[in-house]
Amino acid sequence: MILTVKTRVKTEFVDITSEVNRLLASTGSVVDGLCFLYVPHTTAAVTINESADPSVRKDILKVLNDIVPWEAGYRHLEGNSPAHIKSTLVGASEWIAVENNRLVLGTWQGLFFCEFDGPRNRKVHVRVVPG
Amino acid sequence: MILTVKTRVKTEFVDITSEVNRLLASTGSVVDGLCFLYVPHTTAAVTINESADPSVRKDILKVLNDIVPWEAGYRHLEGNSPAHIKSTLVGASEWIAVENNRLVLGTWQGLFFCEFDGPRNRKVHVRVVPG
Amino acid sequence: MILTVKTRVKTEFVDITSEVNRLLASTGSVVDGLCFLYVPHTTAAVTINESADPSVRKDILKVLNDIVPWEAGYRHLEGNSPAHIKSTLVGASEWIAVENNRLVLGTWQGLFFCEFDGPRNRKVHVRVVPG
């Protein structure tokens, strides 16, 4: 299954928890298992963090943007090396348990698509493995 | 299966290798597979690193605490944004092969629960997928 | 299955995409599934990022080497604490879908072994889970 994500600015965290749950509900067949979420892009990532207070994702993004300098004599001429670096720091995939076609997240957890070189039309590959 | 971890200070790495092996041994049934470890918290993480010399985990934690500033005009008013950021940098899950009900780790590898906002009572979800 | 990687310098990213595809092709039996790649070392890692322009991996490595100081009063006396820290930041494993015995990567994605304390002879464990 593929989820599409439309990002609006250069860097942002988009909460995709509801969309993934909707996708899992639409399959109807899996009850228990593990959900694999994979970003096929090299300037984006996925992460799990607090969804209750939107300030948290802004603080995370701010520090990521502070840690990785926008200018540093980069060799890659496209100008988006900072996005590639953040992608490797955060990671291209996540795994989350699924029960009754819903993600089993902790109380405060949500699932976020991390855009580091937007705005763009992005994809997240979603698979469920039984077990 | 769920492992409980009691942390004692603000930030620390707790070696949980033996506890996970004990949990795997208690099931009795699985011989080969892959073990999924998942932290349902947003201010903690799991990582794999050297267990032989306890200095290594202290050095890792020290640099993580240096990289992510304790004060940076954070918007999140709970005061634990640095913990949320470290959680995303290190990650909420790990996968390790299992043979004969024991984790298949490299010679120097151990499994660590990473507390970034302790002390607290924490959980690690443990599942084994055949294959 | 085990892939061997010979690294040549202190820190480098080695593109192992072709070697993993060759390994998957040599099994002959799996058609669809998920590939688990695991580094049994504590001073190395694996990541997915752009393979088209070799400058990208150099930029990523440069910033990782900038973020984690070479000297910081480390307690671990072996002198390779920076490598252990980078290993935890990037991570010991990756998962990638497999179809027809080939990794399903995004257009620009490649798979990289990350050496942080070379030169050494290294290993990557490779498993495929059906599903």
**Overall CATH class of domain C2-130:** mainly beta
Interface confidence, given as ipTM, is: 0.97
What does the alpha-carbon distance between residue C28 and residue C22 come to, in Å, rounded to a whole number?
10
Percent of chain C exceeding pLDDT 90 equals 94
Separation of alpha carbons B13 and C84, rounded Å:
14
pLDDT over 80 at C28, yes or no: no
At A46, give phi and psi (nearest 5°). Answer: -130, 145
Q: Is B55 within 8 Å of C77 when comparing Cβ atoms?
A: yes
Query: Which residues between 62 and 91 in chain B have a beta carbon less than 8 angstroms from any beta carbon of chain C?
Result: 62-64, 66-67, 89-91
User: How confident is the model over B27-49, as a mean pLDDT?
Assistant: 92
Q: What is the pLDDT of residue A120?
A: 98
**Could you give the angle at which helices B81-90 and A81-90 cross, rounded to 10 degrees?**
90
Please check the confidence at residue A31 and state whether its pLDDT lies above 80.
no
Q: Give the type of residue at C25.
A: A
Residue A130 one-letter amino acid: P
- Residues of chain B with C-beta less than 8 angstroms from the C-beta of C42: 48-50, 56, 106, 108-109
Fill in the amino acid letter for B17: T
Contacts of residue A62, defined as CB under 8 A and 6 or more positions apart, other chains included, come to B72
Write a three-state SS string for chain A.
Answer: CEEEEECCCCCEEEECHHHHHHHHHHHCCCCEEEEEEECCCCCEEEEEEECCCHHHHHHHHHHHHHHCCCCCCCCCCCCCHHHHHHHHHHCCEEEEEEECCEECCCCCEEEEEEECCCCCEEEEEEEEECC
A32 — contact with chain B (CB < 8 Å)? no
Subunits next to B (3 or more Cβ pairs <8 Å) are: A, C
* Two tokens, residue B10: 């603000």
State residue B27's pLDDT score: 85
Residues in chain C within 8 Å Cβ distance of A42 = 48-50, 56, 106, 108-109
pLDDT number for residue B56 = 98
Residues with Cβ within 8 Å of residue A92, at least 6 apart in sequence: A38, A39, A40, A41, A45, A46, C48, C94, C109
* Mean pLDDT value across residues B2-30: 94
Exposed / middle / buried, residue A43 (Cβ in 10 Å: 0-12, 13-18, 19+):
buried
At A79-102, the pLDDT tens digits run: 999 999 999 999 999 999 999 999
d(CA B80, CA A66): 18
Mean pLDDT within A102-125: 98
Tell whether the model's pLDDT for residue C43 goes beyond 90: yes
Q: How far apart are CA C4 and CA C121, in angstroms?
A: 7
Please identify which residue in the block is written with the tokens 């039996």: C29
Report the percent of chain B where pLDDT is more than 90: 94
Q: Is B52 on the interface with C (CB under 8 A)?
A: no
Average pLDDT over residues C44-67: 98
Q: Is C94 on the interface with A (CB under 8 A)?
A: yes
Q: For position A97, what pLDDT does the model report?
A: 97
The pLDDT value recorded for residue B86 is: 98
What pLDDT shows up at residue B14?
A: 98
H runs (alpha helix) in B35-130: 54-67, 81-90
Confidence of residue A130 (pLDDT cuts 50, 70, 90): confident
Average pLDDT of chain A to the nearest whole number: 96
pLDDT of residue C3: 98
Which chains are adjacent to chain C, needing at least 3 Cβ pairs under 8 Å?
A, B
Find the mean pLDDT for residues C54-79: 97
pLDDT-derived band at A28, boundaries 50, 70, 90: confident
pLDDT at B29 over 90: no
Rounded to the nearest 5°, which phi and psi values hold at A10? -60, -55
pLDDT band at C93 (very low <50, low <70, confident <90, very high): very high
Contacts B77 to A, Cβ<8 Å: 55
Q: How close B55 comes to chain C (CA, Å)?
A: 5
The position carrying tokens 């707790």 is B14
